[in-house]
A and B are shown apart, each in its own frame.
Chain A
Amino acid sequence: MRELLRHRLLWPVVVLVLLLLLNVIYNNGFLSIQVKDGHLYGNLIDILRFGAPLILVAIGMTLVIATGGIDLSVGSVVAIAGAMACLRISDLGDQGAVGGVLGAIGVALVLCLVLGAANGVLVAAIGVQPIVATLILMVAGRGLAQLITDGQIITVNSPPYKLFGGGYWLTLPFGIIVVAVVVVLTALLTRRLALGLLIESVGGNAEASRLVGIRSRGLTIMVYTFCALCAGIAGLIISSNVSSADGNNAGLWIELDAILAVVIGGTSLMGGRFSLTGTVLGALVIQTLTTTIYSIGVPPETTLLFKALVVTLVCLAQSPAFRAKVFHRRRRRPPAPAPSDEIDEKVSVAT
């Protein structure tokens, strides 16, 4: 029981359950899932479906943050990926051609890889501060996306492309399956191989890692590239969901939501450790919060305040220092006035 209470994912789970409960109080059928036209239909499916891009972006962001960096450019990459794919598809003679659509998706993702690598090189090889390096692409990328779309919204009418973010496969929305595959692959690669440990060590101390023989530069570049790839896939899901590319609005501010998801998930912004499960939970909390606002009808004027309150509560509940102060719990470690919760938690992880 104490183990469970001290688990660092306890609080995001509690908030998630509370939010769902709140919804059930307002609308008894909130949790029901029906089968409609051969696919699953319900609020929970919606949360997963609309949360899918955020989960993807947040997964990439988690690894970047684990190296002690941050990637502000993901929102722009989301817009660029959607814009590029839709542009290529709209140029196709037959928009329903699977090969052509796959080609368009390929081109978009390769472009994202290049952009991500550029971020990584700026950070790792040239030594620009991550927040500045990625800020460049955050600003310029939006412009690039608008350049690609010519300032218009490109609408495509392509069933294969539609499947990617708006379609269903095995009764499940295809986007959810894509996200599940990416999450599982990432978890396997980072936790079953040494990769995760190496990333954490780069985040802990890049120079020390280099001295013990870890190629921290290569790892950093790889992580930024992976982050951009995730953002690119998210961009494809978002644009495919509405069969159009909006260079101006797609993925707007998603970088902030992603960082928030990572933080709610218990990953330290200082780098050095990360939790993929936590990030997925964090993203789900954010999406559930959004859906809750629409479902229970929070007045638009107070939406932001409501969101901020909930997020503040989650963060406070997660902070051991805060809990100790408020609940007057017996201190576990006598000399621990904990300058910050990250360090406090790191100790508890190490023991």
Chain B
Amino acid sequence: MRSGIGGRPRRHARNPARVATAARHDSLAPATAGRLSRQKRIPPVLKRFATALVAGALAVTVAGCSSGSGGDSGATGGGGGGGDDKITMGFSQVGAESGWRTANTKSIQESAKEAGVELKFSDAQQKQENQIKALRSYIQQKVDVIAFSPVVVSGWDTVLKEAKDAKIPVILTDRAVDSADKTLYKTFLGSDFVEEGKKAGQWLVEQYKDSKDTVNIVELQGNTGAAPAIDRKKGFGEVIAADPKFKIIASQPGDFTRAKGKEVMEAFLKSNPKIDVLFAHNDDMGLGAIEAIEGAGKTPGKDIKIITIDAVHDGMQALADGKINYIVECSPLLGTQLMDLAKKVVKGEQVPERVVTEETTFTPEQAKQALPDRKY
């Protein structure tokens, strides 16, 4: 910036001098003595603090070792009343980017408590390097099993190899990795996005089985390139391709957000006079689109049928109100399944390579019943 040119040189010219003086003062004995005496004035607090720190560090180390050594760790008392076979799990979450993810985290934490698994939880804040750091620290702590939701698909081979060499089994949750060596992890627990898209398509085919007219469909996709967006589009497309009367007349990304869903739907409504069905890759985009449809003077759920995926609370509410016609669940509540799998792999039992989360679908009636005790 040119703005400061007039003023800055002078300040710079003064600064080095000040720095130099400060440096000289620092090296002088009196100053050092002053600092020492200042330290001496508060030794008890410092000492206590330091002791506490050291004790804490020791405790952590002891706890880490004891839980890792497996066998007769109950005797060391570090774990706090755990039995002999108490499992320690290191879990690395993607982040806290959505309500779905928060529900996912809660489910894992609660299930761990119920199953008596000691959970070491870390949040990667959507960065792979944080996640790799977390996994390395779990390996060093010698946890019994590592579970994580990979932030991205690739780049995991090295750290997974390290885990394998340390003989710590790894479970993937929610998202997959593209490692060619399938022995690097024990199993992948998560939703089948293609299947979700298929379920959405099957409902549509069923709804229009008696009709001969063309069905104009618009699609709100997730972020371009995201696995759920690609797979849901694929699954849905495969099912409706069987009948040529189903036509996707427009398909644009709404980035999984309400605001974008609304904006894109507004444009769809204006450029396509006849829309029969909206397929949104998640509830939020569908909720945004509902507002756009209402703004256009049409009735969501009647004039335009709406199918979404996820079944978060707001979406279920809209389904119960009849504004959405069908929701395919994509459940974040995989905690219980994860703990079962973890116990099995620690015992050395064989587990399937791919475990699909238990998920269902909702019609408005089912939504009304399910809403009261919905966790997210």
Contact = CB atoms under 8 A, between A and B. Distances in A.
B4 A151 contact: no
A242 B251 CA distance: 21
A36 B296 contact: yes
A32 to B, nearest CB: 9
Contacts of A271: 1-3
Interface in B273-299: 284, 287-288, 291, 295-297
26 contacts: A27-B270, A27-B271, A41-B297, A129-B1, A150-B102, A151-B101, A153-B98, A153-B258, A203-B3, A206-B4, A206-B7, A207-B5, A208-B6, A210-B7, A241-B259, A242-B259, A243-B291, A244-B258, A244-B314, A246-B259, A249-B259, A294-B250, A294-B252, A295-B270, A300-B221, A303-B253
A174 interface: no
A41 B295 contact: yes
Interface in A292-331: 293-297, 300-301, 303
Nearest to B271: A295
Given A146-B96, A151-B96, A207 B7 contact: yes
Most buried by B among A26, A244, A293: A244
Contacts of A166: 291
A278 interface: no
Can you list the 4 inter-chain pairs with the closest CB atoms, starting with the nearest? A207-B6, A294-B267, A151-B96, A207-B7
Interface in B216-264: 221, 224, 250-253, 255-259, 262-264
A300 B224 contact: yes
Contacts of A36: 296-297
Contacts, number: 124
B3 A68 contact: yes
A68 B6 CA distance: 14
A244 to B, nearest CB: 6
A294 B2 contact: no
Most buried by B among A151, A211, A290: A151
Interface string A49-76: 0100000000000000001110000000
A98 B251 CA distance: 39
B151 to A, nearest CB: 14
Contact of B5 (A41, A43, A205, A301): A205
Interface residues of B, number: 41
Most buried by B among A206, A211, A242: A242
A242 B314 CA distance: 12
A127 interface: yes
Contacts of B314: 153, 155, 244
B250 A246 contact: no
A141 to B, nearest CB: 15
Interface in A140-191: 146, 150-153, 155, 166
A41 B296 contact: yes
B3 A297 contact: no
Contacts of A230: none
A80 interface: no
Given A242-B287, A242-B288, A246-B259, A297 B5 contact: no
Nearest to A153: B99
B2 A295 contact: no
Contacts of B99: 151-153
Interface string B2-26: 1111111000000000000000000
Contacts of B114: none
Given A153-B99, A206-B3, A207-B4, A46 B267 contact: yes
Interface in A25-53: 26-27, 29-30, 36-37, 41-43, 46, 50
A206 B6 contact: yes
Given A151-B101, A242-B258, A271-B2, 14 more contacts: A36-B296, A41-B295, A152-B99, A204-B2, A205-B5, A205-B6, A206-B4, A243-B291, A249-B255, A249-B256, A270-B1, A271-B1, A294-B267, A300-B253
B213 interface: no
Most buried by B among A153, A210, A293: A153
A46 B270 contact: yes
B284 A153 contact: yes
B266 A69 contact: no
Interface residues of A, number: 54
B1 A250 contact: no
B206 interface: no
B373 interface: no
A243 B292 CA distance: 13
B210 interface: no
B181 interface: no
Interface in A247-296: 248-250, 270-271, 290-291, 293-296
A202 interface: yes
A205 B6 CA distance: 7
A259 B65 CA distance: 53
Interface string B96-113: 111101100000000000
A294 B268 contact: yes
A232 interface: no
A238 interface: yes
Contacts of B259: 238, 241-242, 246, 249-250
Contact of A270 (B2, B5, B262): B2
Contacts of A50: 263, 266
A300 B297 contact: no
Contact of A246 (B253, B258, B264, B268): B258
A250 B99 CA distance: 14
A168 B101 CA distance: 35
Most buried by A among B6, B101, B259, B297: B259
A130 interface: yes
A30 B269 CA distance: 11
A300 B252 contact: yes
B4 A127 contact: yes
Contacts of B101: 151
Contacts of B271: 26-27, 30, 294-297
Contacts of A42: 270
Contact of B270 (A43, A67, A210, A248): A43
A4 to B, nearest CB: 32
A246 B260 CA distance: 12
A190 to B, nearest CB: 18
Most buried by A among B8, B266, B270: B270
Nearest to B96: A151
A297 B252 contact: yes
B19 to A, nearest CB: 16
B311 to A, nearest CB: 14
Nearest to B10: A207
